[in-house]
Every structure is written in structure tokens, then in C-alpha cells.
Amino acid sequence: MIRRFTWDIVYHESLDSTNSLMYDQVSGDPSIKEGFVIQTGYQTSGRGQIGNTWESKPDKNLICSILLRPEIEVDHQFMISKIACLALVELLNDLDIDDLRIKWPNDIYVGDKKIAGILIQNMLQGKKIKSCIIGIGLNVNQEDFESDAPNPTSVKLLLKEEHSLEQILLSLLDKLAGMCGKLQLKKNIEIDHLYKFLLYRRNQQSEFLDINGIPFMGMIKDVSTSGHLQIVTDQGLKQFAFREIKYVL
Ligand code: BTN
């Protein structure tokens, strides 16, 4: 039977990081239900991937962490990244934003500019995912970006109009519930296809840096079940984990 979502949104004016607070709360109380959402107007220590920080001016953007308890095996944990990305793409597509792409593993791009980032933290029990925190930073109404994050953009910069963060969160949760439904119905092939089709720079000859910072050329083809990026290079098809490769932007 399909699990129905009841979203339980708690808003904080300011905190250190929605992911950190969610992690502490879920660790302290394992009975917290799937669908719990922490949203804030401002993070004092917003976290990005690989130890980066996440810039977001007060009350300008969507900053939230969502708790899921998907019944999937650890080996398939990349499906969570995929559904989170696809929910964001659907939301932005509904706002009439064109040229949406997913920069592996889970950045949302518009053309060559980043509009959203996702930080996923899984808590495991044996070979299963016990709980999953999906942290989302979506640039909505911010127009100036000060950090050295490459090429940021926002909904306002693209569409020239303000959007309600409350409405954006509700739409995102709606899209995510739809994606979770697909996952429960084991529509993995459909999810895989959508994600692959949207991959940034897929089938384009592009420059990358390997783990030693050595540049090489290659063409992104797909992502493996384990979430490795598959690139055709002069030496044939190679697979890369997140820390093993950088895009040259
Ligand atoms: C990235 O692109 O590096 C990931 C950025 C993720 C940012 C979001 S904002 C809400 C949640 N809380 C955090 O501290 N980080 C994520």
C-alpha cells in the first residue's frame, strides 16, 4: 500500500543548520515520523557538500530539511538523490523556468548557473536506510550573492518576480510526495530515465579534473545504480565517486 504523507512543518526564524537540527532531533527521538520538515529563514552555519558552507540571506530563500523513512536498501540510496532532484526540477518547471539540468550528484542548474543544492544525510540500520534527511537550499528571492560559490542564480533573477517561500515549500513537498510514490511503486526505471535525461553536460565533450587535479576530457553518459558518474574517456568508460572528480565550469 502507498504510504500517504502528512507533512509536519516547523519554522524557526534562525538556527545553525536545518540538517544539523534535524539530525539531533531524529537521533534523540527515533519515533519522529516521516514527513517532519524543519524550515528556517536564516542559517548561521548552513552546510553544503564536502564541507562547504551554504550562503543564503535572511528570509530570501527556501531553506529546509525533510525527514523521509524510505524502505530501501543502502545499495539503492542514490535513488533518494534522484527523487529529490526531480522534485525540485518539477517545481521549477512549473514556475516556467527553462533549461533545467541536474549537475551530478544533486545540484540543480539553469543553463550554467546553480539555483539549488541538496545535502542528504542517511542514517542506516543494517543494510537498510532507517531515516534520511534531505536538506534543500533553493535560491528564490535573493539577487546578490557574496560567497565564491560558482555561478549562483535564483528564481527572482530569472523570472524578475518575488515568490512566496511558503508556497514554494508546499509545492516542493507535493512534488516530493509524488516522487516518493513512484519509488514505492518501484518505478525505478522511470526515475532513472528522467534523471539521466536531465544530466548536466550529458553527451557533451567536457573538461574535468581527476582526484589529483589532472585535467582530462570526457563525455558524461549516465550514473550507475551506486551513484557513480559514468564518463567515456580516451581510455574507455570510467566511473567516478563524488570526491574523485571535479567539473571544469
Ligand atoms: C550544496 O550544494 O553544497 C548543498 C547545499 C545544501 C544546503 C541546504 S540549506 C538547508 C540544509 N541545511 C544545511 O545546512 N544545508 C542544507
How far is 89 from 198, CA to CA, in rounded Å? Answer: 9
Q: Kindly state if the Cβ of 131 falls inside 6 Å of ligand 1.
A: no
pTM for the predicted model, two decimal places: 0.96
Q: How far apart are CA 187 and CA 78, in angstroms?
A: 14
pLDDT digits (tens, 9 = 90+) for 69-110: 998 999 999 999 999 999 999 999 999 999 999 999 999 999
Residues 91-117 as b or e (16 or more Cβ within 10 Å = b) = bbeeeebeebbbbbbbbbbbeebbbbb
Judge if the beta carbon of residue 46 lies within 6 A of ligand 1: yes
CA of 153 from ligand 1 middle (Å) equals 15
117 lines ligand 1 (CB under 6 A): yes
Residue-wise pLDDT tens digits, 8-43: 999 999 999 999 999 999 999 989 999 999 999 999
Q: Residue 17 CA: which ligand 1 atom is closest?
A: 14
* DSSP assignment string, 179-224: HHHHHHTT-HHHHHHHHHHHBTTBTSEEEEEETTS-EEEEEEEEE-
